[in-house]
Amino acid sequence: MGLIKAGLGALGGALADQWLEFFYCEAMPADVLVTKGQRREDKRSSNKKGTDNIISSGSGIAVADGQCMIIVEQGKVLDVCFEPGEYTYDVGGEPSLFAGGSMKENIIGSLYAVWERFKFGGQPGKDQRIYYFNTKEIVGNKYGTPSPVPFRVVDTNVGLDLDIAIRCFGEYSYKLMNPILFYANVCGNVEQDYKRSQIDEQMKSELLTALQPAFAKISAMGIRYSALPGHTTEMADALNEVMSAKWRDLRGIEIVSFGVSSVKASEEDEKMIKEIQRNAAFRDPNMAAAHLVGAQAQAMQNAAANEGAGSAMAFVGMNMANQAGGMNAQNLYQMGQQQGQPQYQTPPQAPDGGFGMAAPPPPPQQQAPPPQQQAPPPQQQAAPPPPAAPAQWTCQCGTVNTGNFCSHCAAPKPAPAAPAPWTCRCGTVNTGNFCSNCAAPKPV
């Protein structure tokens, strides 16, 4: 009974697989990377009992744009197609009476297929499958650094070279460039679909790991971390170079674009970088002088805004700072002017006067006088007399001072008393040395 059942199964299966088949794939959604080709069947089709995973010789296969088709036989890739269109499968398929060629050869091949199935108990002894790969750009893959990633900041203008920690967020897209590698190393024989959610977590983890060496390549180009959103092409190239061994050479995947939505360094690092860059700008004496003038003006405004003894103490502090020494704004401006002036030097002249001409003799008045006629060295000028000592005044606390404020209680120097009025003989009351009416002098 077993042999009869196997024989009937082999004959029925071979006859059912005589029909030619048409394989196709509908538009693949963005979350599907690989899907199995489907045999077209409808209510008018008579090919409803064909064996699964068997392709009849002469069957048609349709490939759409954005898809790649591979034919797998016995677990090995037999054929691959990247171009859209319709193709006829005529290599290694199940023999069919409807395939092109000699009818005699088709009949002999079909009888041989029945015998082969009989040896396997009525079932075919081979496995043939069609897979379609999504070769469109897979977009919308989000990433984010859960912890700060080191980034080297290099600024040759100010001699800056330090490592900071940044966080970045955004999206990236990738594409299947080599479906054969992806089939062999990732998906294999799938029953229906292979979705990107099955590999997203692994890819995201590897991407975050590759960010650090990719950032090192970007910083070596002199690109600042704040300018990363404007250099996404360089970032994608750097990531492809870092991850080529795992993604391109192992899985056949390459990054197409890399978007940076936000990049942020810690407040301490940002403050430190800004301070270093600002201090480096003050190497220019003109900029340092302008900053010093602005700081002094702001200090005077703050001192004038204080009430009571606060303003007096502020001005005392400014006077003490000026008297203690330090850089003056005027001196800085002079240094800037000196650095900006070009230094012209007389080029050395050839012994023959240049251009092959004899050098003219020096004029007689430029000849040095004999030693006995040289003028005596100038005598050292007398030192200028010392400045007169400032007038002293006594504060109400009893301290003797010479400045405008008391050094003990910071009380301001009292204004000089107004002169006493006097009456001229013409009857006019005056305060000056002469009468404002008759110009008579003030009586002694």
Model pLDDT for residues 131-141, shown as the tens digit of each residue: 999 999 999 99
- What is the mean predicted confidence (pLDDT) over 409-424? 80
Q: How many CA atoms lie within 13 A of 208 on its CB side?
A: 19
User: If we measure between CA atoms, which residue out of 211, 206, 191 comes closest to residue 250?
Assistant: 206
- What is the mean predicted confidence (pLDDT) over 151-159? 74
Q: Inform me whether the pLDDT recorded for 42 exceeds 70.
A: no
Q: Which amino acid would we find at residue 105?
A: E
- What is the mean predicted confidence (pLDDT) over 408-431? 82
Query: Could you tell me if 154 and 219 are in contact, meaning their C-beta atoms sit under 8 angstroms apart?
Result: yes
Three-point CA angle 154, 159, 161, nearest 5° = 35
Model pLDDT for residues 45-65, shown as the tens digit of each residue: 655 665 676 777 778 889 999
Q: Inform me whether the pLDDT recorded for 343 exceeds 50.
A: no
Model pLDDT for residues 364-398, shown as the tens digit of each residue: 454 444 445 444 554 555 566 666 667 787 888 88
Q: How many CA atoms lie within 13 A of 394 on its CB side?
A: 3
Q: Inform me whether the pLDDT recorded for 294 exceeds 80.
A: no
Instruction: Please indicate whether residue 242 or residue 300 has the higher confidence score (pLDDT).
Output: 242
Going by pLDDT thresholds of 50, 70 and 90, the confidence category of residue 349 is: very low
pTM exceeding 0.75? no
pLDDT above 90 covers what percent of the chain?
A: 15
Residue with tokens 């009430």: 307
Q: Inform me whether the pLDDT recorded for 405 exceeds 50.
A: yes
In angstroms, the CA 147 to CA 165 distance is 9
Query: Could you tell me if 110 and 57 are in contact, meaning their C-beta atoms sit under 8 angstroms apart?
Result: no
Q: Which token pair is 50?
A: 């064909």
What pLDDT, on the 0 to 100 scale, is given for residue 251? 92
